[in-house]
Chains A and B, each alone.
Chain A
């Protein structure tokens, strides 16, 4: 039995659409609404980080009997999904537009982070706590993984099979070249980030392995 953990993108509607799309999966499907999404309170202290999904997912997994696990990371949460694969907690990894990018040098990464902090500081709704149950504006103000060297190092280190699904929404400019760094990767391209189509690809990939 293989369970599935799905970490939805930041600023997306939540885990519900993914749980629905994967309803035919033979194992359990864990698709939490991550902090600040769909009524889940924002992270303690209010700042969204790449670690939030990891913390929530570990809580979920600790509360249940662990089976073999495939982790799906969508968009920004590709980073969190890769941590599960690197840390020996996943038997398979799926990245949906989750490789990172666009790639920037240190000067541009610093500029991007400064700009993000300034945007938060100059947006009153981002500094104040959101109303209970409301989606958190600040979840949409997170900058993505932009260090190509680090992305390559991560890919080289991932010890499990990987399915990379790319859509026109992907921020990665050189998908093929990043995918080449995984030891065991399959690349699929689809024309929209449609959970049902992603579910079909994941089912077929995992069953045929």
Chain B
């Protein structure tokens, strides 16, 4: 491992997996012959956001594969932001490619946490266990019935904008880190700098995020909390949900609601991470790793 600054390591290997009509960038850690575990990041992030956490997990005997989700980082591009089905099919296929005859574990943060649940509900036979990091979906109040004329007008305007002009470059990576820090207010500056370093590319006039601008676009649909809960009912693999304890962006699911959702899983466990906002694994990596190892011991899945 090579140290980046004082805090982050460089993955042992970088590769691509061709699955489901796309190409997923994968950052790999540990012995490739060891038991695989896949790490799935959240929206607008990338696989290098695990550079602190992944080597800790690899040291526990795993082959850790941290992917860039389609439309993010170096992975394949999108036609629109309506990626949920495609991304979850990607995860099911990746599980088969990594371990054709054995179900594997996956750890997902935020959007990635939701995607591993959908994937496991789709192909239970490919998933041995799941860890969901603050990714139990939007709060019930988030499903408001918006004015469909306004939503459709906004959608069409956004699609027009991204299809007709390239994203606006930012003058420096520092500016991008500052802007992201204004949203994720609890993230340390060093992590923000790391996220930006590997999540952006240089273009004429400055820097742009690597995530596909199409990811922000879609059309109105009937997505609902009832659909999320119906899907959770089909998550059969033992699942540990670790949720934030501190107020932060995207931490609106309260304790009672989190318990209600985790109770839908066939074998679910819920724990709050003290002193952590939305990025529980970034803020409290030792605690998160400890709870994951305990969970794997409990279910007999520790390598």
The interface of chain A, by Cβ under 8 A from chain B, is 35, 42-47, 49-52, 54-55, 58-59, 62, 79-80, 83-84, 86-89, 105-107, 109-111, 113-114, 116-118, 120-121, 127-129, 145, 147, 149-150, 153-154, 157, 159
Contact = CB atoms under 8 A, between A and B. Distances in A.
Most buried by B among A43, A62, A121, A157: A121
A111 B234 CA distance: 9
B231 interface: yes
Nearest to A115: B122
Contact of A117 (B85, B152, B155): B85
Contacts of A55: 79-80, 159, 163, 217
A58 B89 CA distance: 28
Contacts of B89: 47, 117, 120-121, 127
Contact of A157 (B70, B149, B160, B214): B149
Interface stretch (B39-47, B218-226, B236-244): B218-226
Nearest to B76: A45
Given A62-B163, A113-B85, A157-B149, A127 B21 contact: yes
B93 interface: yes
Contacts, number: 144
B78 interface: yes
Interface in B12-57: 19-22
B163 A45 contact: no
B79 A45 contact: yes
A86 B79 contact: no
Interface string B121-152: 11100000000000000000000010111011
A127 B222 contact: no
B21, B86, B121, B145 interface centre (most CB from chain A within 10 Å): B21
Contacts of A45: 21-22, 70-71, 76-79, 83, 86
